[in-house]
Structure 1
């Protein structure tokens, strides 16, 4: 189910990122951009000119999702929100939410990049010719970086320092009473910025703070800027891989001792082990019996001046299941809910004053029934083109030995690249 390939060229990562930015600027293209050197590195994909879309609502069924993704040729690109995951789990919310529960699209052309090879795929030869000419003339475009705008206004938090620390203390009460044993608590950071150029902000962040799952998506008046380092689920010809992240250490200068400090921490190790066990359980129902196993437990990589600990959870997709069966049964990802999943999500709904929306949902690229990749939409912001409000989010996993002050500090460290944009 691939569009016919009609053009390819060899270019480097910087050239591709620049070309993708031009496509977004000139054609309202949408994209998932990866970067070299990360355990969750993936294929970069740009969708040009949507030809059909599915806006997910309260009444959208898994069968309708499958029909949209699988019944016509070409990859599907888009997002599925955390709020849709609440619906799947039977968790109600009365919080205002002005975002679709998900938005999926198919395109006239797909531009992809992997291993320094650029590929155009489309059934429209004139569009391929246009893109090829644009690539050939790219050197004629100014390489000057576009300013994303002035310093942002003073930030507002849905949970300020005192509110977040109180939320951690309340979470600890739930843990001690047996309702959860790990829970991800988040806060929303908001700025009013009428002069912001969100695409320029996205390309600046991509250049200065690379990560494996950058995404720029358009949904009505909303623009999505995701800078996630975390893979949710990949399926490649039926082979399943999840790479949950749990365990964080901020650094100014990376030293050899920093890795050991993170991996030797009983608290951080417990966070990861709990979530790995949850992910194993989440994917097992759709994988061959005995195929689910863990490799590289407590591995570490650096992103955004943070050391992050992760593990690789593998499996083999059953022949009578497809990648959306797997995705929906495991969604939302355990690393951003907690354990047990439903109980933790119910507590999150009580503790957090904001709707998460796309935050902690997933950005997806779905090729066919047995091939997809998806992120956990953390380090993610949205910009409203009408209200000019930029919302970003950050959170941390709370366990029984969590310290409220340190958890707030970790949460703010994860938001650092957004915090640096304006006054605090």
Structure 2
């Protein structure tokens, strides 16, 4: 059982910063920030889970079965991630590309200390509370000051050159024209070796530039994720399941007229709409595996949402499930998310593996949480920097959807647009 105490805050934004810095004394940290982005599908503005009481770490073999057993045994809050390569658990697939990061394929933990912020009310949930530990911790949090930080500018390299990217995109188009696939998300990695960065500093800069609704700071010992994701993979509220795939990106402008024109052009762009609708169809099919008959609906189709860096085309697909349906089964039958794979999904993933040169790992996976009653919420790990502090390897990847109408040079430019924020904070 958890001890739960509520605190009324005068300055919620200040406590966010203090919690981030205070949490770094612990081995395991998951921080989730909505950046106050308006959303009807959001339970909390800000969450911090720290210090594992129990944990599960595994490769892809039987990963979903192991996670289901862990979730059913604990029946508590669980925080962690699903890497893209869990696809190998559900399908006859493999991941044999280069991996400089070395993250486990799956990691979740049951936090001893949990902080849930909504408006100006902070709920604090502690396992096994000792004496006045909670009040002492809260005082330490409030007195926490930001230490000075610095990092060396990493020497960022590109895993796939521009010429190779164009050639590989042409190969992807050949697959499409042959009818092997209709669409595939093709990604490339930027990386730095011998990188020495301050993860908190980089995360805060990345988050301030983007202010996304599904930002994440993740730490597991020497593994870090600094994530400014605008995309929700999957959420469960009671017997309702929600997926919000993104397909379609346009640049933002400081000039209001240019910015509005960019938004309108994205909304009307036939290629972007086609990409989005293909993935909506894929998501509808994925959700149908666990949905009650006739319950899969498209609540929003190709709506435009504006973020600090870009405009995005987002659709919202929902379904209803039986109360007895396992939350892990809902995830297993929809993972990896359609927006980061393609259609048909399995064929697209096989071609992606052949053409990409880096194991995706946590990139294009998902970070999130389960509640004690089996609800959950997970983002899509994009617009993110991954860092292994032990071997000092830093990585971020970007991608775009290739369809029959794709122009390789324009797809390359879209990748650079998506990488802009990561370059900016690192340089």
* Cα distance between partner residues in 1 of 2:97 and 2:348: 18
Q: Bigger CA drift: 374-383 or 52-61?
A: 52-61
Of 333, 352, 366 in structure 2, the residue corresponding to residue 348 of structure 1 is 352
Q: Which residue pairs with 1:95 in the alignment?
A: 97
Q: Which residue pairs with 1:26 in the alignment?
A: 25
3-state secondary structure, aligned to 2:130: helix
Q: Write out per-residue CA displacement over residues 73-129 of structure 1, whole angstroms, 9 at most, x where no aligned residue.
A: 4211001100112332220232344221111111112111123321101233338x4
Alignment RMSD, CA only? 2.1
Give the aligned length.
419
Residue 60 in structure 1 maps to residue 62 in structure 2: yes
**Pair 1:329–1:422, CA change in 2 (3 A):** same
Q: Which residue pairs with 1:241 in the alignment?
A: 242
**Pair 1:217–1:60, CA change in 2 (3 A):** farther
Of 379, 393, 398 in structure 2, the residue corresponding to residue 394 of structure 1 is 398
Of 306, 323, 326 in structure 2, the residue corresponding to residue 322 of structure 1 is 326
3-state secondary structure, aligned to 1:415: helix
Q: Write out per-residue CA displacement over residues 249-274 of structure 1, whole angstroms, 9 at most, x where no aligned residue.
A: 01222532222111100000001100
Shift of 1:133: 3.7
Q: Which residue pairs with 1:50 in the alignment?
A: 52
Shift of 1:324: 1.1
Q: Which residue pairs with 2:159 in the alignment?
A: 158
Q: Write out per-residue CA displacement over residues 133-162 of structure 1, whole angstroms, 9 at most, x where no aligned residue.
A: 444455544357x43413322x11111211
TM-score, structure 2 as length reference: 0.92
Q: Is the 8 A contact 1:298 1:310 kept in 2?
A: yes
* Cα distance between partner residues in 2 of 1:54 and 1:199: 25
Of 307, 314, 321 in structure 2, the residue corresponding to residue 310 of structure 1 is 314
* Cα distance between partner residues in 1 of 2:245 and 2:379: 10
Residue 35 in structure 1 maps to residue 29 in structure 2: no
Q: Bigger CA drift: 390-399 or 135-144?
A: 135-144
* Cα distance between partner residues in 2 of 1:319 and 1:140: 44
Q: Which residue pairs with 1:336 in the alignment?
A: 340
Q: Write out per-residue CA displacement over residues 236-290 of structure 1, whole angstroms, 9 at most, x where no aligned residue.
A: 1111111000110012225322221111000000011000111011011111111
Q: Is the 8 A contact 1:70 1:368 kept in 2?
A: no
Residue 105 in structure 1 maps to residue 109 in structure 2: yes
* Cα distance between partner residues in 1 of 2:344 and 2:11: 44
3-state secondary structure, aligned to 1:420: helix
Q: Write out per-residue CA displacement over residues 39-64 of structure 1, whole angstroms, 9 at most, x where no aligned residue.
A: 46552321121011101224334332
* Cα distance between partner residues in 1 of 2:359 and 2:400: 16
* Cα distance between partner residues in 1 of 2:30 and 2:262: 37
Q: Which residue pairs with 1:192 in the alignment?
A: 193
3-state secondary structure, aligned to 2:2: coil
Q: Is the 8 A contact 1:148 1:198 kept in 2?
A: no
Q: Is the 8 A contact 1:148 1:199 kept in 2?
A: no
Residue 408 in structure 1 maps to residue 408 in structure 2: no
* Cα distance between partner residues in 2 of 1:56 and 1:84: 10
* Cα distance between partner residues in 1 of 2:363 and 2:312: 19
Shift of 1:298: 1.5
Gapped regions of structure 2 (runs ≥ 5) = none
Q: Which residue pairs with 2:145 in the alignment?
A: 142
3-state secondary structure, aligned to 1:290: coil
The correspondence of residues 291-302 of structure 1 with structure 2, limited to 5 A, is: 291-302=295-306
3-state secondary structure, aligned to 1:195: coil
Q: Is the 8 A contact 1:215 1:225 kept in 2?
A: yes
TM-score, structure 1 as length reference: 0.93
